Structure 1
Amino acid sequence: MTSPAQIAMTGTAASADLLGYGQPIGGICQTAFVVRDINAAIDHFVRDCAAGPFFLLPSFLVEGQVYRGTPSTADVAIAMGFAGHMQIELIQPLDDNPSVYRETIEARGYGFHHFGIALRDVDAALPGYLARGYNLAFRAPVPTGGAVAYLEGGHDASPGFVELIPANDGMDHHFTMMWQASQGWDGSDPVRPFL
């Protein structure tokens, strides 16, 4: 019998495999939070949650972002680090432009934003999610190749968005390098440039 995670990988039955940092393709590879102050949030995760180091991208605004069917000009700062095998993403909006981040803050305040699901082929998996009742809220190209898709709905119990992340070689290499930096980390240089 094919599991939901196997179907999510490409929209068809497939065998499970792992990213270089140990998370399964077709499963949660990232937990993300929208924050008021990214540096204060990094301090919290390092000091109180034993996560890190964090890799900071002070601005992420790329051409081709689409928010609810309209081109988006919302800029955010992003920091990524690891707690064990789970990637933690921190996102701070840098302007008041409409975005999936601003709408979360307005609806619930700062805090949990989305789970990231690693998929070999986001475009192939997307119709299956839409058929299960999800709606596409945001799409953006990413530097490691392909484009992420933020989905909402699908289940009343969902605590936030689901982000479909293209698990290509560039993404796997990039995220795995961040994870490797967390292995045996001595607490030095808790904030580093985005790789």
Structure 2
Amino acid sequence: MTPVAGEEMQQPEGLPRGVRLGVDVGDVRVGLARSDLDGMIATPIETLERGTAVRRVVEEAQELDAHVIMVGLPRSMNGTEGVAAQKARTFTAELMVSLSTDAPDIEVRLIDERLTTVSAHKALHSSGRKGRKHRQVVDQVAAVMILQQALDTERSTGARTGERVEAPGVHDPAQEETR
């Protein structure tokens, strides 16, 4: 859907215009990506150290006036959740605590991201980047892939995707996972 000169991009009905952030949680590093205001394309922002990542994601969300943060949830091929998924959920819980005081209006969603890091390594290898240098940017590339997948799903369905994460102590069954 390409706009005609002078026309503004139309958001899918029900989705407000605004920046979305994508996050790929690793053991040591966290990749961060952003969308444009119309939610069309994801681009990398930076690779964060795990220890300061929550604070930086919140700062970036506030600076960009982000509406949603999409955090990758690495499930196994059969859909079960292992250690990596638990680490993503722990990161998301830390993020929710920080957002509840600093930016309570920002929505957080967990996005199924099976094989995203593997795909990111393959993309970097295909682009000619040496394997040793992958670690510097692979988390950013994975964050872009997570966010782009979510943006594409939003555009095709007209609704947010993934599992909505509630603030600690809040549960709304109407906001469960949609795909």
TM range (shorter): 0.3 to 0.5
Q: How does the TM-score come out when normalised to structure 2?
A: 0.35
Q: Which has the higher strand share?
A: 1
Q: Which has the higher helix share?
A: 2
